[in-house]
Amino acid sequence: MTTAPHSQLATHDVTNQPEPRADRDLWSGDTALRAAARWAGADATALAEAGRLMGRDEMRQHAENARRDAPRLHVFDRSGRRRDEVEFHPGYHAIMDLGMTLGYAARPWEDAPGGHATHAGLVYYMAQLEPGISCPLTMTYAAVPALRDNPALAETWVPRLTARVYDPSIAPVGRKRAATMGMAMTEKQGGSDVRANATTAAPHGDHYTLRGHKWFCSAPMCDGFLTLAHAPGGLTCFLVPRWLEEGRNTMHLMRLKDKLGNRANASSEIEYHDAVAYRLGEEGQGVKTIIEMVHHTRLDTAMAPAGLMRAALDEAYWWVSGRAAFQRRLIDQPLMRAVMADLALEVEAATALAFGAARAFDGTSEADRAFARISVALAKFISNKRAPVMIVEAMECLGGMGYIEETPMPMLYREAPLNGIWEGSGNVICLDILRTLVKEPLATEGLMTRLQSVIGRDPRYDAALRAHQTRWPALPPEAEARWFAESAANLLAAAYLLELESVPVAEGFIATRLEGQRGHVPGAVSGIDIDGILARLG
């Protein structure tokens, strides 16, 4: 007896369709991940177990349910009293529970080696499973260093933010086993220019009351939010608890955003109606305080596009390996092989760049910290610019099937632009790169040391590095910041790939991205070891 769906239908037989996949192992099936994670010092045993759990078909069903049954806002109860609550599908909670249990938010703060690199691996997996749920998990992880500016708050909050359990109950933080943290900074009039914020903070003894509007507040059912407001001493960072001992805080949800993607996650527009808040850092030092949270969220926005691209590549490769056209499997046709190899180069480079940044985050010296700031910015910029193009090409490999919601391709496509916007769009990141290189000599030194460390391994790389240095003996004018960032990011990716010693990939990336043996569209390549690159896909 078989319970498989019928292939022999009344009008035709179903043939030339790859068999649906069940459970997948996101670790053992990913050569690039295994090599980069070990190179970065991640906990391979932990990532192997997480890859098995997050690749289960059950988790994919949870993800699909969480996207299909989108979050619902309940502003009032039936009697007209304010609730300001968001209801999620149980699938959302199941994935949140798995992420917290695996230590997505906790690992970097547990004093184990490779904590940030292991965390980055979990981000990579989550991007393949349900990227929207990364948002509250990432902010929970990233809030920890910002909270250190207030030891009393940190004593209460940090143990709960780093607890390996999930507790979605509505209760003050002191009564919970675990907590999550969100962020609310953006206002209508300023956007990335947070110094234009208009929200005010009035001191009242041990706390402040906030009044104002936030145009974007991610994950509004978190237990607390880091936010910026103008106190008497200037723009200041605050922690706004969602729930107080005496009841609900007056943080009111005005509406949920109707977004292009990221549908399992609730993003909201909020108002503070004299909401209780606690100061982090000194008055007037709000940007300096919250930048630590932003810095850590950037690691995740640098890693997420690698995971999205990996999911698209995996789906495309499975399809072209199981489908034939013109009497040959698609994967056996030279032009398709060229396209797949070029897409694989994008994934390998993005993965190496993100794990390289994570390795720097795990460093303990000032030089490590400075290099982390520049390397994560370069990775975030270049990988998010390439993800949408790469995912569209992977979608095209499936033809019309790739445009259908039953495949993951539409979801991946909708997610592709987000990480390039979140925590600084392209121009903001490029200006931050220039600013970092001006203000932090250790960042410049660290970048050049990394780029020069592989000189002599490939003459084409050496020539590209010389050309970069000739073109920009000093920092570029602002109008050339994107060109400079792209060139530096490509060189850094090539340096990492040479360190990883995957010869076909490193040589292919250098030939196409540095030497110019590539056109302007994916698959327009020449002179690369296509067979060697594709061999890493299984």
Global pTM?
A: 0.97
Query: For 330-347, what is each residue's pLDDT tens digit?
Result: 999 999 999 999 999 999
Give the count of alpha carbons within 13 A of 521, CB side only: 5
Q: CA 215: distance to chain centroid?
A: 21
Tell me the percentage of the chain whose pLDDT exceeds 70. 100
Taking 70 as the threshold, does the pLDDT of residue 449 lie above it?
yes
The angle, 0 to 180 degrees and rounded to 10, between the axes of the packed helices 44-54 and 31-40 is 150
Runs of H (alpha helix) within 190-233:
none
In this prediction, residues 14-40 reach a mean pLDDT of 94
Query: For 205-218, what is each residue's pLDDT tens digit?
Result: 999 999 999 999 98
Q: Residue 538: its pLDDT value, please?
A: 76
Of 443, 148, 125, 134, which is closest to residue 314 (Cα–Cα)?
A: 125
By three-state DSSP, how is residue 404 classified? coil
CA–CA dist 264, 68 (Å, integer): 8
CA–CA dist 45, 178 (Å, integer): 25
Q: Are 304 and 358 in contact (CB under 8 A)?
A: no
Q: Are 513 and 349 in contact (CB under 8 A)?
A: yes
4 band by pLDDT with thresholds 50, 70 and 90: confident
Q: Residue 48: its pLDDT value, please?
A: 98
Question: For tokens 């698959």, what's the residue?
Answer: 523
Q: Residue 70: its pLDDT value, please?
A: 95
Q: H or E stretch including 449?
A: helix 441-452
CA distances from 339 to 142, 351, 506 (A): 37, 19, 17
Q: Are 370 and 443 in contact (CB under 8 A)?
A: yes
The single-letter code of the amino acid at 285 is Q
By three-state DSSP, how is residue 517 classified? coil
Taking 90 as the threshold, does the pLDDT of residue 26 lie above it?
yes
Which residue did the predictor score with more confidence, 423 or 23?
23
User: Which phi and psi (to 5°) does residue 274 adopt?
Assistant: 55, 45
CA–CA dist 193, 144 (Å, integer): 24
CB burial of residue 247 (10 Å; 0-12, 13-18, 19+): exposed
Please write down the long-range contacts of 244-249, taking CB distance under 8 Å and 24 or more positions apart. 244/172, 244/276, 245/172, 245/174, 248/82, 248/84, 249/275, 249/276
* DSSP assignment letter at 511: I
Q: Are 164 and 91 in contact (CB under 8 A)?
A: no
CB burial of residue 475 (10 Å; 0-12, 13-18, 19+): middle
Q: Around Cβ 17, how many Cβ atoms within 10 Å?
A: 11
Cα-Cα end-to-end distance for the chain? 32
Q: Residue 1: its pLDDT value, please?
A: 64
The angle, 0 to 180 degrees and rounded to 10, between the axes of the packed helices 57-68 and 115-129 is 70
Which string of DSSP letters, residue by residue, matches 277-328? EEEES-TT-HHHHHHHHHHHHHHHHHHHHHHHHHHHHHHHHHHHHH-EETTE
In this prediction, residues 309-333 reach a mean pLDDT of 95
Taking 70 as the threshold, does the pLDDT of residue 265 lie above it?
yes
Which string of DSSP letters, residue by residue, matches 97-166? HHHHHHTTTTGGGTT-TTHHHHHHHHHHHHHHH-GGGHHHHHHHHHHHHHHTTSHHHHHHHHHHHT-SS-
Q: Residue 21: its pLDDT value, please?
A: 87
230 forms beta bridges with 200, 235
400 band by pLDDT with thresholds 50, 70 and 90: very high
294 band by pLDDT with thresholds 50, 70 and 90: very high
Query: For 144-203, what is each residue's pLDDT tens digit?
Result: 999 988 999 999 999 999 999 999 999 999 999 999 999 998 999 877 788 889 999 999
CA–CA dist 314, 95 (Å, integer): 21
- The whole-chain average pLDDT of the chain stands at 96
Burial pattern 59-81, b for ≥16 Cβ within 10 A else e, equals bbebbbbbbebbbebeeeeeeee
Q: Residue 310: its pLDDT value, please?
A: 98
The token duo for 211 is 């009044």
CA–CA dist 437, 443 (Å, integer): 6
